[in-house]
Amino acid sequence: MTKLLREDAEWEWTIEQETVFEHVKMLRTEKPLLAYPDFRLPFRVVTDASKVGLEACLMQDQVRGWQPMDYASKFNSKAEGNYGLTELECLVVVWAIKLFRPYLYGRKFTIVNDHAVLKWLLTSRASSTDGL
């Protein structure tokens, strides 16, 4: 479906697009639906990155277990697609924190990321937090 968003794309709604559209509709109406945030509880930001794109989920451990508050994803630019895996995993963490900043600012939260090299973020002392 994203092919239809390109500037030079010719509009064509085929069975392939219809199938994807119906699948997305189903995903948006079945559990897990988005939960309302409880600002008394800590948040969790789950991230993942690939050469194709970035994705993140804002979650909270509520009465029924971990519940999603928000999902986000984006396709990488051509330049971002050239990044190494470590750079992409770092990029997705920074991107997600910026995106979910209204929920996270001034609160404790946990980042869940599957790339062990990013542990240096916990010990590095940034000279400026303007980027965040």
* Chain centre to alpha carbon of residue 46: 7
Any residues with CB less than 8 A from the CB of 111 and at least 6 apart, and which? 44, 45, 47, 93, 96, 97
Q: Using CA atoms, how far apart are residues 21 and 11, in angstroms rounded to an integer? A: 15
**What letter represents residue 49's amino acid?**
A
Please tell me what DSSP assigns to residue 9. Answer: P
Q: What pLDDT, in 10s, does the model give residues 27-57?
A: 777 766 788 999 999 999 999 999 999 999 9
In this structure, of 3-7, 47-51, 120-124, the range with the lowest mean pLDDT score is 120-124
- pLDDT of the residue at 5: 66
- pLDDT of the residue at 125: 62
Report CA-CA distances (Å) from 55 to 30, 43, 51, 118.
20, 16, 12, 16
